Amino acid sequence: MMGERIIMDYMSWLAGFPISVAVMIFLLHLLLCLFALFLLFFLIALIPGSDFIFMDIEDMLENWLADKLKQRGKRTSILSPPRDQVEILESRLLEILGGDIPTAKRLLRQQKLSKPGMSTEWYLQKVIWDLERDRGLR
């Protein structure tokens, strides 16, 4: 139990100081540990290919949608497997918006807030229908 021993030695060492000084030393050590942790994460972030550690869900969705948009142009074979309706609608929405993923996410989020409980397909259809209507494409 090396960890317990280190903690006990540290606490014994701190006990030799007046309480106000011991608290200040402890807080300083805590701050140094947090800084070292931050520095470690910063250095890990500099390693190529380690960005997946720090990605959030929206970044992952944005990358996935961008990949789908790129793949859309590559599927020219009649023999390629059919895509599901959601993928087709996502591609259509990004096509209408010129690949503007943040706008697509914002419009979908607004629809989900105004009409909760509907399917993903419904939200995509509604946003596409509204855009086509507003832009005179319908």
Residue 57 pLDDT: 59
Which one-letter amino acid corresponds to residue 94? L
Question: Read out DSSP for 21-69?
Answer: HHHHHHHHHHHHHHHHHHHHHHHHHHSTT-GGGG--HHHHHHHHHHHHH
CB 95 within 8 Å of CB 135: no
pLDDT < 70 stretches in the chain: 1, 49-60, 72-83, 138
- pLDDT, position 35: 94
- How far is it between the farthest Cα atoms of the chain? 80
pLDDT of residue 25: 92
Q: How much is the mean pLDDT over the chain?
A: 81
Distance separating alpha carbons of residues 15 and 29, to the nearest angstrom:
15
pTM: 0.42
**Which pLDDT value is given to residue 32?**
95
* Cα–Cα distance for residue pair 105/64, rounded to 1 Å: 13
